[in-house]
Structure 1
């Protein structure tokens, strides 16, 4: 037996480099364990998740861990008193106790929870156990869910909600510490725990140097200098740290610099595409990682995309008619056998199976998008085109027109005259006998305006394979609550220079003949603008990117027992990991977004340009609606606002969700802050808010609109806005991507040629074969297949999703008043959900379902797993 043990140890030393630290003091640990058998005991229950023994590497580690147990090592815990201090004013540390029955408690075949008993020696003068150290003497990490102490004298049961990965002790300079799930402000922290609280935050901040390893727990900031690889000839500007390219900060990895340009961080190899560093606790859980996303997103990047490109190089093809698009959802995409074999040989079996028809003849068979499930042609109507501005996947751009003709905010010294060329004569036929002035005064005119956002980049974008316009779309609010498009303006930079202004053309609604085909193309160009703006701005920038600095600052400056940390941290789950993955395979140079969306290589640079206009207060839904002129303040109306478009599904449902969140946040924060002075005296809170501005959003640190964080109302509004961004706002712009955009005709991602001119071959094709001309103009077949593959992944809920109004643990706090308030929040959301469903049944609300008969459910709080077009996860988790 000892010979076998010796071989195991020698093998471990060869593979892990160091097991000696786990076994040198084995004799002492055995003595400790014998000592623990004497005296009064406190029983405890530890819940953790061990590694999957079906994985060969983990199985090897499991054998080594068992050997460590035999030598007296293993997993030890030491309680720390919150009421009794040692000579150094720190809480008294108890003697070691070890997890029991590790050897006899077999881990599950699939990663799951294991429960262990533990017995602590108890001293009568120990007091309340407010924290504990844990030391992992094994060779592999485990996920520690909780510790529960039973019948602590004078205190009853004491629970520690841990939810953190614990690596072998040799990976840490100091043993891991966890605090009881009590909540307190810094100044209210028991004196014996204060230094422990401060030290834990110091550990999480790190020193800003070195390359981060998977076991590190360091949260730090960096600029977006990891999107391109100058060593391979890729060049994109560094985003963040300059006035020209401002940007929110991302999590620092500390990877080496690129060889050819030290301003850039080196990139991971494609084979390791999702192994980018984030603190382990920010990584996907085992269910989600083994679910569809971990393998599928990577496969789209490293297998499907290049595989399809190679096929199309050999057998170039296009969609020839709309039926071929429909066939993607009926039979799949036909692939020549040899190409098919090459394309699929690197795919994991579950992914391979999910992409094939049952008969194995075709590849990439997609589920039917909801927008065409009930009616295959209703997407093309003007009513549906307008309705999706209020109830689609990007309902955040439309605004009320207050000045006619529409103005531009672009600097005329740089861009010349960018004012709209639309006149009253052009639109008077659609104003229901009103003049333009009367229509404006009666709040009847609205605009979807992508002009100013795109015009500064349009010349460069159109120098790529993209050929598109900056668009303005005017709409009229009809008496039945629906919007009617009046005119679309397509604009290009002046061919002789930007300073000469825009060249614009106007297009008007038509149903038949070549005029109808031209109108359909005009709407498609608007769709192209809207899809790109949605993906890069409404989705990526305004949710994913802007929130990451909040996550980093929270972990660096707010203790885990701080009430605001406990309030916000569920709304950060998985966000750093999905953002890191996006930087590696989605928004990187030549990545999936550049390959499929019209801004091409200027995609992220364009989002930096739009970030210049971003303000934190305007992310609050009421402020956003007021800013866009869609609502006005009205103390007599629900939520303090009166909507000027009563049947605006996103706004109506969103305001109910917003109010429920704010009510919960108000109740919760008021439990801990009795007045404004308490806000001002909370040094962790003040450090959090200062660092968030000065480091997290450093390029905007001098903006006057930042809340000062001096009052309770500022804290409530800020936390409500953070939760809104992470939950409902992201849900509204994410989970409808496939239901609306999976049908590429409805939401094309790019355009490849400009509007046909009379007398050209393209115009003749439009006359003779309008479907073919339309398909030659918008997203190519290759781009469509890649793009649909991506948004199908991004639109799905994982099996372990936690939704708004829920918590992963019911014992996340010991404060019964906070638990009662949270239970009330959950019940309020349930009532909101019922009201949304009732509104969707109201036939008088025509924007709720529209011609496509697709009810607006993106802000329904609950959902099941999969592609549901509803459900509000707590966090930006995909």
Structure 2
């Protein structure tokens, strides 16, 4: 008689406990045990439930366990969320079986022993069969769907509650999100304004509404939004640091002359470009699109060009703005030397264009939609026992449900984006299609992206500085973990599951576009490490960089108008204070935009910071050592950022590791 002793540990979640009959069966290399009944154990997170499983003969090295759950007599079946099972063999060897998922039915569920294993090393027939059956089931659960032509594919699901339980919101996350959505306007004390379709009568009136829920940074923005210095600063360290690039030659459609601009230091544009002091922001992505209607009124969507100058004091200052792509007499180039309201109105059109680019391209496409592609491909192609699954699954948490809600509540025909923004309606899908057709692998890798945009030496570029540190820390962590399992390049080439994961991303995320530079297969360990670093960086750091500051910079609406409802000026000298007020969004569009940005910036109480792994998937010593180092390096970066921020007028916290989530969960 062989006896295996151990415990079942329950996840510390609401409703994770069970009063059902639980059955466990052990399967080893030399046989299997009979199912052992654990009748009415009331398994709860408060205590480990001890188990003993007997077998008439030795069943060898444990390969997997089967768990089955049936309701008791006259009792309804309830869901159960075990974390893991630990068992000790008669020979004293300990086996771990990570679960970390809801068991809701009375079917037998198999879970592999925790030791990570690549497909070509999984030679035992039972292990190989289990691996095949797991992926067969996953491919039925996680299917691809086309939400709209020309953009990354998404998971096929008709309702948020139809998502598999393992990827759904927790009870805590679900109710916090619902309450925040329900009470957003109330909490902001704006509920009485949500139905008012009239225009603002004064900037002071906006300020009175805005006094609730201010942050230190949002208050600073309200006080300084008219200043050129804050306008320029946001291209580097605001929520959309993805548009600016160094300018060495002026575009043919942006005919700025020395006579138009004032350059501190007295040199010409050509000399300043040669000295690498001139920068360009080009919103051609938005060109030629039909703007939305809001409250039955036509809105206006411009595709501006902005020229900026790095001054001798190392400030980035705007020196020229053209609001439409094609130069013409009715498309003047505005400069800081123009009248106060001409210049301010031109900057407002730029800030509104930046909002559209940020929300649809930098935020929705490049983090949310790509993170969903990474997640669905992972869940379809890599079994739980694969080391890459273990490494990446924490970075998929809540992504599928938050994206379903984004499609349902934000960008659907009745979603908020179509009711308050100039890029809603017909323009929305076209912007996403254009952005998808131009996205590249290099632009997702921050070091490559910054180099391509010529921004390596720009001073006070904290997104770049913190992003480089973050990328390198993640890269070292990935190298350490994956280098343990992939001993040389041949391991990468022979891993058919890995190659299918990468090919799925190329096909369904990048729509099989070779010009994107996205790998269709990986040949070396170095290529694998860079690719996985990109995935983790996108799902954690990059999402935080373009998400966390939305309320800070956008809740003061004049700094980030979600739409503008007057056409751009065609001549100089005609704008005044009333021109600004006439162009600004109506009251209801303003407050709904504030509420949306507040909701999208509000982390749930069960958020998991980057580098924290409450669900244990790895049990080998080496990955745990690298996790410890990873967490320590993130803590050190947190200290460095905090120390630097003490000396900054505007602290940059978007890439502070202590504030980052592991996944796209907001």
TM-score (normalised: structure 1)? 0.71
Aligned to 2:605: 799
Aligned to 1:860: 656
Aligned to 1:94: 33
Matched, 1:711 2:524: yes
Aligned to 1:735: 548
CA gap of 1:664–1:159, structure 2 versus 1, over 3 A, is same
Aligned to 2:289: 457
CA gap of 1:681–1:327, structure 2 versus 1, over 3 A, is same
Tell me how far 1:461 sits from its aligned partner: 8.1
Aligned to 1:557: 381
Which of 349, 354, 369 is residue 530 of structure 1 equivalent to? Answer: 354
Tell me how far 1:300 sits from its aligned partner: 6.5
Please tell me whether the aligned partners of residues 151 and 433 of structure 2 are also in contact (alpha carbons under 8 angstroms). yes
Name the SS for the 1:395 alignment partner. Answer: coil
Aligned to 1:390: 236
Which of 413, 427, 431 is residue 606 of structure 1 equivalent to? Answer: 431
Aligned pairs for 1:138-287 (under 5 A) are 138=71, 139-169=76-106, 172=107, 175-191=108-124, 192-206=126-140, 218-224=141-147, 239-240=148-149, 246-253=150-157, 255=158, 275=160, 277-287=162-172
CA gap of 1:560–1:305, structure 2 versus 1, over 3 A, is farther
- For residues 174-231 of structure 1, give each alpha carbon's deviation from its aligned partner in whole angstroms, at most 9, with x where no partner exists: x21112221111122251311111111111112xxxxxxxxxxx0110000xxxxxxx
Please tell me whether the aligned partners of residues 528 and 747 of structure 1 are also in contact (alpha carbons under 8 angstroms). yes
CA distance in 1 between partners of 2:572 and 2:175 (Å):
56
CA gap of 1:50–1:807, structure 2 versus 1, over 3 A, is closer
Name the SS for the 1:470 alignment partner. Answer: coil
Which stretches in structure 1 are left out of the alignment for 5+ residues? Answer: 1-37, 54-61, 85-91, 207-217, 225-238, 241-245, 256-267, 269-274, 331-365, 408-418, 495-500, 631-642, 843-848, 863-870
- For residues 432-491 of structure 1, give each alpha carbon's deviation from its aligned partner in whole angstroms, at most 9, with x where no partner exists: 2222222112110001211x2111315788997212422111111112221111111111
CA gap of 1:381–1:51, structure 2 versus 1, over 3 A, is closer
Aligned to 2:5: 42
Which stretches in structure 2 are left out of the alignment for 5+ residues? Answer: none
Tell me how far 1:714 sits from its aligned partner: 0.8
Please tell me whether the aligned partners of residues 370 and 854 of structure 1 are also in contact (alpha carbons under 8 angstroms). no
CA gap of 1:52–1:813, structure 2 versus 1, over 3 A, is closer
CA distance in 1 between partners of 2:497 and 2:91 (Å):
31
CA distance in 2 between partners of 1:186 and 1:758 (Å):
67
Larger radius of gyration: 1
CA distance in 1 between partners of 2:291 and 2:101 (Å):
49
CA gap of 1:298–1:189, structure 2 versus 1, over 3 A, is farther
Tell me how far 1:308 sits from its aligned partner: 6.8
- For residues 814-845 of structure 1, give each alpha carbon's deviation from its aligned partner in whole angstroms, at most 9, with x where no partner exists: 11011101111111111111111222234xxx
Aligned pairs for 1:380-459 (under 5 A) are 380-404=226-250, 406-407=251-252, 419-427=253-261, 429-430=262-263, 432-450=265-283, 452-458=284-290
CA gap of 1:738–1:703, structure 2 versus 1, over 3 A, is closer
Matched, 1:367 2:213: yes
Name the SS for the 1:165 alignment partner. Answer: coil
TM-score (normalised: structure 2)? 0.92
CA distance in 2 between partners of 1:223 and 1:557 (Å):
19
CA distance in 1 between partners of 2:350 and 2:474 (Å):
34
Aligned to 2:665: 877
CA gap of 1:94–1:49, structure 2 versus 1, over 3 A, is farther
CA distance in 1 between partners of 2:496 and 2:601 (Å):
40
CA gap of 1:699–1:150, structure 2 versus 1, over 3 A, is closer
Which of 205, 218, 233 is residue 324 of structure 1 equivalent to? Answer: 205
CA distance in 2 between partners of 1:461 and 1:440 (Å):
40
Please tell me whether the aligned partners of residues 75 and 98 of structure 1 are also in contact (alpha carbons under 8 angstroms). yes
Aligned pairs for 1:435-834 (under 5 A) are 435-450=268-283, 452-458=284-290, 465-491=298-324, 504-510=331-337, 515-601=339-425, 602-630=427-455, 643-700=456-513, 705-706=518-519, 708-756=521-569, 763=574, 767=576, 770=577, 772-809=578-615, 811-834=616-639
- For residues 263-291 of structure 1, give each alpha carbon's deviation from its aligned partner in whole angstroms, at most 9, with x where no partner exists: xxxxx7xxxxxx35322211111221122
Please tell me whether the aligned partners of residues 145 and 154 of structure 2 are also in contact (alpha carbons under 8 angstroms). yes
CA distance in 2 between partners of 1:306 and 1:370 (Å):
20
CA gap of 1:830–1:158, structure 2 versus 1, over 3 A, is same
Please tell me whether the aligned partners of residues 493 and 523 of structure 2 are also in contact (alpha carbons under 8 angstroms). yes
CA distance in 2 between partners of 1:539 and 1:305 (Å):
27
Name the SS for the 1:745 alignment partner. Answer: helix
CA distance in 2 between partners of 1:561 and 1:431 (Å):
61
CA gap of 1:797–1:326, structure 2 versus 1, over 3 A, is same
Tell me how far 1:94 sits from its aligned partner: 1.7
CA distance in 1 between partners of 2:606 and 2:239 (Å):
24
Name the SS for the 2:332 alignment partner. Answer: strand
Stretch moving more, 781-790 or 592-601 = 592-601
